[in-house]
Amino acid sequence: MNYQQLTALIKKKRSFLCVGLDTDTDKIPQHLRSFDDPVFEFNRLIIDATIDFAVAYKPNMAFYESEGIKGWKSLEKTILYLNQFKDAVFTIADAKRGDIGNTSERYSKAFLSEPPAGFGFDAITVAPYMGSDSVKPFLKYPDKWVILLALTSNPGAFDFQTQKLQNGQTIFETVIQQSLEWGTTENMMYVVGATKAEMLSSIRAIIPDHFLLIPGIGAQGGSLEEVCKFGMNDNCGLLVNSSRGIIYASGQTDFAIKAREEARILQNQMEHELARHGII
């Protein structure tokens, strides 16, 4: 999916909501556990319940890998299910990969190549620590995206990312600046945690037009209004993720209904913000 298509999808759905599929086997409602693949069944019902209000889905690889081959199968079924809605959803492999060139090439094949060679995700989150040749292999796929970690939403973000270099910039600003030589607004987004919304201003000064993926709304405490105030651009330029707040809104048989309600609440707020910024 390219920039124009994603922007059109946001305007059509009046939403820039990304639903994080951090599906934890311990938190799946009891009544689904008799299914052959409870994780996939849970994901399918969450997707069906929220697809009217969400533009993107973001399975978190750790939750699948930690279940071994069974988990890998659940992930495969989930992405194949999502791939059916190709024009209606943007898919993100939250993998935070990054390694020397020949290895990043392998990861890019795994996540971005179309099935059966790979999963066929639209995008993958990538860690910048190893520099250009660890990121570039992911940028070779047309209409696919790297979502580079810039300023993350966790406490450890302040250990390194916000430290200042001798050039006067923070590490995360330097990561963004340098990466402009690797990709474009058409194939690169950035992870910026909602818990530091005010820092979005300095980021928008460097990258006014790029999409930003914003985690940390909800369970991690970020405010949507603040994010939009400092981070929204003329095309929206935001994907705001909520994981636990939606998928675990209820742990009972009504989990999908409750997830839909939570997604609708966020979509309503997003529609309001899109209107306020003159985008719809």
Question: Of the listed pieces 2-10, 100-108, 227-235, 246-254, which binds a second copy according to CB under 8 A?
Answer: 100-108
272 contacts: CB under 8 Å, gap ≥ 6: none
Q: How far is the CB of 77 from a second copy (least distance, A)?
A: 11
The C-alpha atoms of residue 24 and residue 248 are separated, in whole angstroms, by 10
Contact characters 130-149, a second copy, x per CB under 8 A: xxxxxx-------------x
Q: Does 114 bind a second copy (CB under 8 A)?
A: no
Out of 73, 77, 96, 229, the active site residue is 96
134 vs 267, beta carbon nearer a second copy:
134
Question: Of 11, 80, 88, 101, which one interacts with a second copy (CB under 8 A)?
Answer: 101
Q: Does residue 37 interact with a second copy by CB under 8 A? A: no
| Position among 116, 198, 205, 278 found at the interface with a second copy (CB under 8 A) | 116
Instruction: Record the tokens describing residue 62, joined without a space.
Output: 């750790």
Q: How far apart are CA 1 and CA 23, in angstroms?
A: 25
**158 touching a second copy, by CB under 8 A:** yes
Q: Which residue has the tokens 């190709």?
A: 86
Cβ atoms < 10 Å from Cβ of 272 = 14
157 in contact with a second copy (CB under 8 A): yes
Q: Is 198 helix (H, G, I), strand (E, B) or coil?
A: helix
Q: How far is the CB of 93 from a second copy (least distance, A)?
A: 11
What is the DSSP pairing of strand 90-97 with strand 123-126? parallel
Give the separation between CA 240 and CA 193, rounded to whole angstroms: 10
Q: How buried is 224 (Cβ within 10 angstroms: 0-12 exposed, 13-18 middle, 19+ buried)?
A: buried
73 binds a second copy (CB under 8 A): yes
Q: Residue 180, interface with a second copy (CB under 8 A)?
A: no
Strand partners, 58: 20
Nearer to a second copy, 43 or 153 (CB): 153
Find the shortest distance in angstroms from Cβ 259 to a second copy: 19
93: tokens are 């492999």
> Is residue 213 classed as helix, strand or coil in its secondary structure?
strand
Residue 65 interacts with a second copy (CB under 8 A)?
Answer: yes
211: tokens are 């999409």
96 among known catalytic residues: yes
84 SS3 class: coil
11, 45, 118, 264: which one contacts a second copy (CB under 8 A)? Answer: 118
Rounded CA-CA distance 144/169 in Å is 29
Q: Check: CB of residue 180 under 8 Å from CB of residue 171.
A: no
261 binds a second copy (CB under 8 A): no
Which residues of this protein are in contact with a second copy, per CB under 8 A?
22, 60, 62-63, 65-66, 68-69, 72-73, 76, 94, 96-104, 106-107, 109-110, 116, 118, 127-135, 149, 152-161, 163-167, 171, 174-175, 178
